A and B are shown apart, each in its own frame.
Chain A
Amino acid sequence: MRPRLFYRWRTALLLILTAAARLAAQNPPLYTKWINYTPANGFPEGEVYSVAVEGHRVWAGTAHGLALIENGRVRKVFTTANGLAGDAVMSVAIDPRTGDVWAGTFGGLSRYSGGRFKNYTNLSSGLANDLVYGVAVQGRYVWVATAAGVNRFDTYTGAWSIWNETNAPFEEPWCYGIVATPKKIYVAAWGGGVLVYDLAGRYWKPYTDPDGSMEIVLYRNEGLIHNIVSGIAYNSAMRMFWASTYFGLSGFDGRNWHNYLTKDSGLASNFINGVQTRGNEVWACTQKGLSEFDYKTKVWVTYRPANWRALDAAKAVKDSPGEVIVTWPDGKKRKLTTATSLAHNYTLNLAFQGKDIWVATAQGLSHGTIQISAGGKN
């Protein structure tokens, strides 16, 4: 009798847990309120390439300068006229110790400190190239992803280090993104896959597409999806790095690869411009909207303007309704409509501010919040 009772209890518990998981999966928290920053409210026109959050301040790297939003208002737009190295700002990072803002531009690297810019270029410093695609702060060091390799700048001594195909296992020196963690540096390389630098061991480890072909994925979880990597993020909770490519999303947990394409997931598009992670969430910035993947529940949510297919022909983007598509692990989808939406379906990057998200799109910066009703329901 005893074992039978045990099995009954175990079955019941499993059923309850499954039901709870299902229930939880049915109600993922959704971002339903969007405030967009466009030329209409003093924000620069065109693409927003990067965004970084520092408390109540939001820094956005745009096609026409570095914009500062404070308490929901556009405070200032810095351009080359204000001393910025280049007007097209590809990346922004904030030093949490000093509050200095580092901007990677198409005219070099800029440091905004004490209300002034100091610029580092190929000719004036050890910067490998003036095309700066990514910047990350790790303690006293600033790591820079350029079109000619990776730089490390020591803010204490002013010394520059460089890694490229001549002194590290870089297939190509073209670096498109970088993220720093206390132990490792992760680099997204155009043509070279993902490169990881071990800070303690002082060595690089490359991760490349193992099938040897640029145009196919031979087996689903064979390794990195593609060698052209557009963005990189590290999640300390999952202990995984996530790489965005123009052919799908790849995650690596140290042993296994977890690849996602539109054909087998709720990913909006395989063309992914950037990736960020938080908790169990992986956010893919695609050309067909912003896709959120809950790694634990395997539920996908995609956000984009409802009229996204006709958006480019439309005159007014502001306040257009939004479209939310929830894709369950079994592939079933549910479409919801929201009153407001992302500024554009072509998303480029993302930053978190508590529970809020700031999304860099091709036509403005979008601030997304989870709206909870009086009944506590989203």
Chain B
Amino acid sequence: MMLWKPIFVAGLLLTWLIGFGETEATSAQKPPAHPIPYASIGAVHYDGPNRQPAYDLKGAVIRIGLLAPLHGPQKAEGLAIVGAAQVALRNATRHPLAGGRKLALAIADESVPPWGALGDEIIRMVLQQKVIAIVTSADAVSAHLSEQIGNKIGVPVLTLSSDPTTTEINMPWIFRLGPSDTAQAHMFAGNIYRARGLRRVLLVAARNHDGRVGSTAFVKSARELGEPPPATLFVDSFQPSLAPLLSGIRAHSPEAIVFWTSPQDVSSLVPPLREAGIHAPIYLCQAATQQGSGLTFPVDRMRSEQHLQSNGIWTVIPPGWGDSVEQKFARRYQTETGTPPTPIAAEAYDAITLIVKSLRQAGPNRARLRDRLATVHHYLGASGRICFDDKGNDQAAFQLVRLQGPKALVQRPRP
């Protein structure tokens, strides 16, 4: 009997030691490379009300809200968006809606002071003009304000803003067209750091919401590639002179420059940079290539590795750009507006077209229209293929391209 006790204790000790050793060895052998998130945002599902016919919009005219900058420095991009939307509406209204209803645009100027009257403009569209949906420009502030109101009142929002945070919040009312800042940042960073092997990178960002979100996305992409964060210079829209900024850029002697700014900043900064002999490749976020930048489309297609290494001005466009649908739209757009369209103008065209197509199926009801838009997975539009995922993100593949800009912008590339 007396022997059992020490044997039992020894056994326990041995088991504990072996067990402990195994645990340590296992955890040492398999360190978690990336912690598995506790939870992820899944598919967005809307369980809200107002799908009944009683909540259909009344009246002989169904209006689609459109927010665009119509005054000030961004007027050109606003007019381009409005022009594209009007082309889309004319195209879509060749066949009347059910009940002989007509379609119209309710256009609001977003170039009012953003923290004051913009909200009033959106409310006027939603509550007084009773728009069926809102299309917002590339400006993220407009997108977020519309989203916040749309979420309370129940209005679908299609945004051309690349701000990914508009759709990363489990919100059923918003759909984002075009490449997100994250997607663009990944492409730029991959080309700069991996394909070209460049290290001295300068990020020029607007000192506003869009610049902050875009530059954060690029810094994050650089970090994911194991690269140090790039040097960053901020552009203030009220900056009286660009001379200090230009000398700041020159002082960095960058091998590559990434712009997350407005098109106006591109038109005022890039030509002097080229004139100063800085021929480093320039990467422009899609919003910076809009009307007002001085850039024109079409683009050089990348067909070889050598092409990928060339200097010039680069941006991201949908893969379908240049296809028959886009060309048809481009011809009509150029005929009616006198200028070739930018990708964002094409996205505006697609946003209106998608709303009208969905409206024909859903009827004049905001909640049913939302449901219908949520089912758009493979739509071939003027801006390329549109594929909303279950969170409202456009998941179409995008590609990096070199722009054929005017001579003032794209001077002779470095040999």
Chain A residues close to B by CB (< 8 Å): 46-47, 49, 63, 86-88, 90, 106-107, 122-123, 128-131, 133, 147-149, 164, 172-174, 176, 190-191, 211, 213-220, 222, 226, 228, 246-248, 261, 263, 269-271, 287-288, 308, 311-313, 315, 344-346, 362-363
Asked whether, in the complex, the Cβ of A312 is within 8 Å of the Cβ of B165, the reply is: no
For the complex, give the distance between the alpha carbons of A122 and B116 in Å.
7
For the complex, give the distance between the alpha carbons of A312 and B47 in Å.
9
Asked whether, in the complex, the Cβ of B49 is within 8 Å of the Cβ of A363, the reply is: yes
Instruction: Knowing A217-B39, A345-B47, say if A90 contacts B152 (CB, 8 Å).
Output: yes
15 CB contacts below 8 A, A to B, read A88-B123, A131-B119, A131-B123, A131-B149, A217-B40, A218-B35, A218-B37, A247-B39, A247-B41, A269-B47, A271-B47, A288-B47, A312-B51, A344-B49, A362-B48
For the complex, give the distance between the alpha carbons of A147 and B165 in Å.
17
Asked whether, in the complex, the Cβ of B115 is within 8 Å of the Cβ of A129, the reply is: yes
Question: Does B334 reach chain A (CB closer than 8 Å)?
Answer: no
A104 to nearest B CB, angstroms? 12
Residue from B115, B123, B171, B367 in contact with A128 in the complex, judged by beta carbons closer than 8 Å: B115
Residue from A106, A129, A263 in contact with B116 in the complex, judged by beta carbons closer than 8 Å: A129
Question: Residue of A at shortest CB range from B122?
Answer: A131
Number of A-B contacts (CB under 8 A): 126
Question: Residue of B at shortest CB range from A147?
Answer: B119
Beyond the given pairs A47-B154, A215-B40, 20 more chain A to chain B contacts, judged by CB atoms under 8 angstroms and listed by A's residue number, are A63-B153, A106-B127, A122-B116, A122-B120, A129-B116, A130-B120, A147-B148, A148-B116, A149-B115, A164-B115, A174-B145, A211-B37, A216-B37, A217-B40, A287-B46, A288-B47, A312-B50, A312-B51, A362-B49, A363-B49
Asked whether, in the complex, the Cβ of B38 is within 8 Å of the Cβ of A215, the reply is: no
For the complex, give the distance between the alpha carbons of A254 and B149 in Å.
32
B360 to nearest A CB, angstroms? 21
Question: Residue of A at shortest CB range from B37?
Answer: A216
For the complex, give the distance between the alpha carbons of A149 and B116 in Å.
11
B221 to nearest A CB, angstroms? 14
For the complex, give the distance between the alpha carbons of A176 and B41 in Å.
21
A190 to nearest B CB, angstroms? 6
A123 — which chain B residues lie within 8 A by C-beta?
116
Question: Does B130 reach chain A (CB closer than 8 Å)?
Answer: no
Question: Residue of B at shortest CB range from A123?
Answer: B116
For the complex, give the distance between the alpha carbons of A278 and B88 in Å.
53
B384 to nearest A CB, angstroms? 24
Question: Does B117 reach chain A (CB closer than 8 Å)?
Answer: yes
B96-119, CB < 8 A from A: 115-117, 119
For the complex, give the distance between the alpha carbons of A246 and B171 in Å.
7
Asked whether, in the complex, the Cβ of B149 is within 8 Å of the Cβ of A216, the reply is: no
Closest 5 CB pairs of A and B: A214-B168, A148-B115, A216-B37, A131-B119, A362-B49
Instruction: Knowing A216-B37, A312-B49, say if A122 contacts B117 (CB, 8 Å).
Output: yes
Asked whether, in the complex, the Cβ of B144 is within 8 Å of the Cβ of A49, the reply is: no
Question: Does B304 reach chain A (CB closer than 8 Å)?
Answer: no
Interface size class of B (residues with CB under 8 A): 35 or more
For the complex, give the distance between the alpha carbons of A148 and B39 in Å.
31
Asked whether, in the complex, the Cβ of B170 is within 8 Å of the Cβ of A271, the reply is: yes
Asked whether, in the complex, the Cβ of B127 is within 8 Å of the Cβ of A87, the reply is: yes
Question: Residue of A at shortest CB range from B46?
Answer: A287
* Residue of A129, A219, A220 most packed against chain B (CB within 10 A): A129
Asked whether, in the complex, the Cβ of B144 is within 8 Å of the Cβ of A174, the reply is: yes
B115 to nearest A CB, angstroms? 4
Question: Residue of A at shortest CB range from B39?
Answer: A217
Question: Residue of B at shortest CB range from A287?
Answer: B47
Instruction: Knowing A217-B38, A312-B50, A346-B49, say if A130 contacts B169 (CB, 8 Å).
Output: no
For the complex, give the distance between the alpha carbons of A148 and B209 in Å.
13
For the complex, give the distance between the alpha carbons of A19 and B164 in Å.
51
Asked whether, in the complex, the Cβ of A226 is within 8 Å of the Cβ of B169, the reply is: yes
A248 — which chain B residues lie within 8 A by C-beta?
39
For the complex, give the distance between the alpha carbons of A271 and B41 in Å.
11
Asked whether, in the complex, the Cβ of B38 is within 8 Å of the Cβ of A220, the reply is: yes
Residue from B35, B119, B367 in contact with A129 in the complex, judged by beta carbons closer than 8 Å: B119
For the complex, give the distance between the alpha carbons of A122 and B117 in Å.
8
The 0/1 profile, CB within 8 Å of A marked 1, for residues 347-376 of chain B is 000000000000000000001000000000
B40 — which chain A residues lie within 8 A by C-beta?
215-217
Asked whether, in the complex, the Cβ of B165 is within 8 Å of the Cβ of A191, the reply is: yes
A270 — which chain B residues lie within 8 A by C-beta?
170
For the complex, give the distance between the alpha carbons of A248 and B39 in Å.
10
A88 — which chain B residues lie within 8 A by C-beta?
123, 127, 152-153
For the complex, give the distance between the alpha carbons of A174 and B146 in Å.
12
Question: Does B52 reach chain A (CB closer than 8 Å)?
Answer: yes
For the complex, give the distance between the alpha carbons of A246 and B147 in Å.
13
Asked whether, in the complex, the Cβ of A46 is within 8 Å of the Cβ of B119, the reply is: no
B144 — which chain A residues lie within 8 A by C-beta?
172, 174, 190-191
